[in-house]
Amino acid sequence: MNIAISNTSEKPIYQQLFEQISAQILKGELESAYCLPPIRQAATELRVSIITVKKAWEELERHGLIYTVTGKGCFVTELSSDDMLQKRNDMIRMQMIIDTSYYKSFGLTIEEVFELLKEVY
């Protein structure tokens, strides 16, 4: 459980958990079939509510990144490197569509986006 929760962030806690664990899974940092901590334990460790952990886990399951067995626990889905790359790019693309709609509303060309990206990345 290598998670950093920001209370000042505008993002809800469950979203932060979901994104960080997603990234860890899709970067291959968590082994397949690795068992996540029990939600009660995770909630205690992270000092958040069980509901908050549950919502994050639900998001992970909805994205096919983990699967749940009542009474046993939650486990990381086994994915090939290709599948992981595919899922990662899918998630990034979805976010990019939202991000770029903002850039487009200001009339930026893709070349201008590239220029500014080089400055901030």
Partner DNA sequence: ATATTGTGCATACACGATATACACAATAAT
Partner DNA sequence: ATTATTGTGTATATCGTGTATGCACAATAT
Residues that bind a second copy (CB under 8 A): 19-20, 22-23, 26-27, 88-89, 91-93, 95-97, 99-100, 102-108, 110, 113-114, 116-121
Q: Which is nearer to a second copy, 51 or 110 (CB)?
A: 110
29, with CB counted inside 10 A (0-12, 13-18, 19+), is exposed
102, with CB counted inside 10 A (0-12, 13-18, 19+), is exposed
Q: Identify each DSSP E strand in 1-121 by its residue range.
A: 66-69, 73-76
| Helix count and strand count (H, E) for the chain | 5, 2
Q: Which is nearer to a second copy, 62 or 104 (CB)?
A: 104
Name the minimum Å distance from CB 95 to DNA: 16
Q: Footprint of DNA on residues 30-89 (CB under 7 A)?
A: 36, 38-41, 47-52, 54-55, 57, 68-74
Judged by the rule CB under 7 A, the positions of this chain that interact with DNA are 12-15, 36, 38-41, 47-52, 54-55, 57, 68-74
